[in-house]
């Protein structure tokens, strides 16, 4: 059994497999339908594990190890190898140079980012919600890749599906947090005459990526809220009185 997923040409390489998976192609039921890969959700564990196996099989016909983190909206990054499982590690970024190890990030509106230095065969991924992006998870993921031997001038990065500005209304305290960090952050907000404030998470993440002077940067423009039939969306569920939510998975792996 396989699941549909999106790839991006910036990450296409003979030595790399990757995918941005949505909610289609799994076994979970009800509001977890169907490819929920979040072990932190209240979905049946057996279904989540089966969905993660479907992702692994979709990514590679070989027996591979799929790892993820206990994400905490932080700037913490771990370097992964085959010797450990990382589900109990509290962090929001992973880097590796180990083949056949699929590193992954969960999301349900936040920004999943996949990185690759094809020349050095070093990859990374991070979970960039507003807290993580603001506190430096993007920079820290790149630094961790460099410590393994990557050159940022050779790193490609792709931002996967996340919430769009039209569906990301925030409060004045949220706005003030960004303005206090840098007044120029006002460009990432749209303030309506009626007082509503909307935040452009995609634009903010892309600005952070471009400031790193990487090789190439792009995005998959899908909005998880707007396309809630294709992606899990925390905010969509909240607005519709659904208490829990499934997770999308974005993963990247070096092939042996």
Instruction: Give the model's pLDDT for residue 1.
Output: 79
pLDDT in tens, 133-171: 999 999 999 999 999 999 999 999 999 999 999 999 999
Instruction: Give the model's pLDDT for residue 62.
Output: 86
pLDDT in tens, 212-226: 999 999 999 999 999
For residues 208-213, average pLDDT: 98
Instruction: Give the model's pLDDT for residue 86.
Output: 61
User: What kind of fold does domain 5-163+215-254 have according to CATH?
Assistant: 3.60.140
pLDDT in tens, 223-251: 999 999 999 999 999 999 999 999 999 99
Instruction: Give the model's pLDDT for residue 2.
Output: 87
- CA 132 → CA 54, 92, 205, 244, 254, distances in Å? 28, 8, 10, 22, 25
- Rounded Cα gap, residues 37 and 20, in angstroms: 12
CB 33 within 8 A of CB 23: yes
Categorize the per-residue pLDDT at 101 as very low, low, confident or very high, splitting at 50, 70 and 90: very high
Structure tokens at 79: 């370097």
Which region, left, alpha or beta, applies to residue 248 given φ > 0 means left and ψ of -120 to 50 means alpha? beta
Instruction: Give the model's pLDDT for residue 87.
Output: 67
Residue among 167, 174, 166 at smallest CA distance from 130: 174
Domain extents for the chain?
5-163+215-254
pLDDT in tens, 174-206: 999 999 999 999 999 999 999 999 999 999 999
pLDDT in tens, 2-17: 899 999 999 999 999 9
Instruction: Give the model's pLDDT for residue 63.
Output: 79
CB 68 within 8 A of CB 86: yes
Instruction: Give the model's pLDDT for residue 43.
Output: 98
pLDDT in tens, 37-87: 999 999 999 999 999 999 999 999 887 899 999 999 999 999 998 766 666
């Amino acid at each position: 059994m396989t699941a549909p997923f999106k790839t991006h040409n910036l990450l296409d390489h003979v030595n790399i497999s990757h995918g941005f998976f949505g909610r289609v192609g799994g076994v979970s039921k009800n509001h977890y339908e169907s490819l929920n890969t979040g072990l932190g959700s209240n979905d049946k564990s057996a279904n989540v594990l089966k969905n993660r196996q479907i992702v692994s099989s979709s990514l590679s016909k070989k027996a591979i190890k799929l790892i993820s983190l206990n994400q905490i909206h932080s700037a913490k990054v771990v370097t992964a190898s085959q010797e450990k499982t990382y589900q109990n590690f509290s962090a929001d970024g992973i880097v590796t140079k180990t083949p056949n190890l699929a590193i992954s990030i969960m999301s349900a509106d936040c920004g999943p980012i996949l990185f690759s230095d094809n020349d050095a065969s070093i990859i990374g991924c991070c979970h960039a919600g507003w807290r993580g992006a603001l506190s430096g998870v993007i920079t820290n993921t790149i630094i961790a890749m460099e410590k393994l031997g990557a050159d940022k001038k050779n790193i490609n990065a792709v931002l996967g599906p996340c919430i769009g500005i039209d569906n990301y209304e925030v409060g004045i305290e949220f706005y003030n947090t960004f303005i206090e960090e840098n007044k120029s952050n006002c460009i990432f907000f749209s303030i309506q005459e009626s007082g509503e404030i909307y935040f452009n998470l995609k634009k903010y993440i892309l600005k952070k990526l471009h400031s790193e002077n990487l090789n190439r940067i792009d995005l998959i423009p899908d909005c998880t809220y707007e396309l809630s039939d294709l992606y899990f969306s925390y905010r969509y569920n909240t607005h519709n009185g659904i208490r829990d939510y499934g997770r999308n998975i974005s993963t990247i792996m070096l092939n042996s």
